[in-house]
Amino acid sequence: MSKKYTIALAGNPNVGKSTIFNSLTGMHQHTGNWPGKTVANATGEAKINNKEFIFVDIPGTYSLMAHSEEEEIARDYICNGNADVTVVVVDSTCLERNLNLAFQIMELTPNVILCVNLLDEAKKKKIKIDLEKLSKILGVPVVGTTAKKKKTLENLKETIYKVATGKIKCTPKMIEYEEKEHESNKNQEEKNKAKNTEEKVTKILNKAEEICKQVCTFENKNYSERDRKIDKILTSKKYGIPIMILFLAIIFWITIIGANYPSEILFTFFGWIQKKLIYMATYINCPQWLSDMLILGVYQTLTWVISVMLPPMAIFFPLFTFLEDLGYLPRIAFNMDKFFKKACCTGKQMITMCMGFGCNACGVTGCRIIDSPRERLIAILTNNLVPCNGRFPFLISVATIFIAGSYGKFSSILATISVIGVIIFGIFLTLIISKILSKTILKGMPSSFVLELPPYRKPQIGKILIRSLFDRTLYVLKRAIKVAAPAGLVIWIMANTTIQGNTILTIVANFFDPFAKLMGLDGYILTGFVLGIPANEIVLPIILMCYLKTKTLANMESTMEIGEILKQNGWNILTAINVMIFTILHFPCATTLMTIKKETGKWKWVGLSFLIPTICGILVCFVTTGIYNIFT
């Protein structure tokens, strides 16, 4: 049996490493987690000259100093000698900065290929790199590529083959470090280690600068001037945050408006299938209770979640990934970093919050980008304080009916403003809770981190659609389906089982009612939130089902029709405000809770993530109800 060669792909973030990986492996790839870690890995297979190669996409990292989980994984994988060849992908427009990682890897393994990527961008900026000279200086093969053009990868594939089979010998030229003697007492040990590391990094950076002066030619000295001009606006103190809010508002608006049509199509399609299932159940003489339980309970709830959840995610995540590919997300982190620093956290938390607007489960997964374990936990525990797309329809309906309903043509504007106001309140509360956690159970100082502002790039639409659909949308939907099916069964049983003339649903609502009244709500509303834990999308249908005394989830397409039902059941402006507050501030959905357990590994963090927003929501509702009662 012929040997399979293992090729590791390493590099800084934003250098096109994953694009090269996808081009080399095509569809022969799969993803998983590194053993004992939460950071995802990707492996793929390809044949080069009839030899089998396994490619491993190592997490993007700036160095191997093991400050973060990604750096630790990259270092351990390379140190353990799991790869026959390591391909270090670097950005041709930022060669000096990228060589830092290349030198560190060459110290650990001799079989290194330097892949100078993004040559098309270097050409646009009139940057020329002498690849042959660079190869002689480093002592390893150097190959130039443009990742999105597969033809340019042929030379890389051939070089990988020759290095792996020993036809090309790599002789990396190491940087010589001066060994300095330091005091050996325990108090000085950590300081000595830090000093040695600092001296080593300085030496590498100086060497990288020296090499770039020898191999790089800049015809246009102001090649990055356009990016700097844009950054002066997007990262300015005056315009940075308003532009960020505007971009997010546009994404929300496109998501909400655009999701209506595919949701209707899915509802119609699943409704047609439901009729056929009922007909089939009747035809085979299936017991009525069993067919109702499976079709009107499990199936209807499951398809409701898919119909309401899938379209917004399928729109939001490509738009969010578009901003990511464009290079805007690091600017968001930069703009918010000073606010999170005051809360003893990191600006990267803002990026995970933005992901939470699409889905809190994805926001929790996205917290992997935060290096500090303490700050990562804080970001996970507070992610649910911003609303996911499943909560937006409910927020907008309530705002339209009760806050903007009597203002005619300005109603949509006022509804939008009120929803954005609630979102900003959620962000403000996130900062406060993060500060409290930093001073209590998760004490610590904010960590410093390298925040790269990558060059603005033309987004790759195909890559965006694949990444957003498979890595985010379907990932979350799969988890939601796992909890939606059993939840549908529970809801149907509660709505159809009577005890002394009352359904279990009514009994539960009556039990919650006294406490709910103190919050300015009622028992049915609180029951809707509790039973909506599988997915936020079904909270409103459950509330309507309770009011209408139906035995299945109620589907109301007209906002005004919904409004009339709510008003008839005692809703007023206080109820609307408190419902909007509690929609923002209540326990995460089951999918998010499952994700938190997977990411943290401990139930105590799951419990805290459940309690923190819920307690905040209850307290805020108590306050608003008290103030309302004083002035009325």
Distance set, CA 285 to CA 271, 281, 288, 630 (Å): 21, 6, 8, 60
Q: Using the 8-state DSSP alphabet, how is residue 142 labeled?
A: E
Task: Say yes or no to pLDDT of 393 above 80.
Answer: no
Task: Say yes or no to pLDDT of 75 above 80.
Answer: no
The amino acid sitting at 452 is E
Helix runs in 45-94, H state only: 69-79
Per-residue pLDDT, averaged over 355-384, amounts to 86
> Residue 481's pLDDT band (boundaries 50, 70, 90)?
confident
Per-residue pLDDT, averaged over 139-153, amounts to 88
Count of CA atoms in the C-beta half-sphere (13 A) of 609:
30
**pLDDT per residue over 199-232, tens digit each?**
777 788 788 888 888 988 887 766 667 778 888 8
Higher pLDDT, 444 or 342: 342
One-character DSSP codes across 480-506: HHHHHHHHHHHHHHHHH-EETTEEHHH
One-character DSSP codes across 373-405: HHHHHHHHHHGGGS--TTTHHHHHHHIIIIIST
- Strand order, beta sheet including 142-144: 29-33, 40-48, 51-57, 5-11, 85-91, 112-117, 142-144
Task: Say yes or no to pLDDT of 423 above 60.
Answer: yes
Task: Say yes or no to pLDDT of 488 above 60.
Answer: yes
pLDDT reported for residue 143: 93
Q: Using the 8-state DSSP alphabet, how is residue 16 labeled?
A: S
Region of poorest pLDDT, from 217-221, 269-273, 291-295, 435-439? 217-221
β-strand 40-48 against 29-33: which pairing, if any? antiparallel
Q: Are 140 and 106 in contact (CB under 8 A)?
A: yes
> Residue 310's pLDDT band (boundaries 50, 70, 90)?
confident
How far is 266 from 304, CA to CA, in rounded Å?
A: 9
Q: Is 56 helix (H, G, I), strand (E, B) or coil?
A: strand
Question: Is 224 exposed, middle or buried (CB count within 10 Å of its CB: 0-12, 13-18, 19+)?
Answer: middle
β-strand 5-11 against 29-33: which pairing, if any? unpaired
The model carries a pTM of 0.72
Q: Is 271 helix (H, G, I), strand (E, B) or coil?
A: helix
Region of poorest pLDDT, from 63-72, 99-108, 454-463, 578-587? 63-72
pLDDT reported for residue 34: 47
Task: Say yes or no to pLDDT of 627 above 90.
Answer: yes
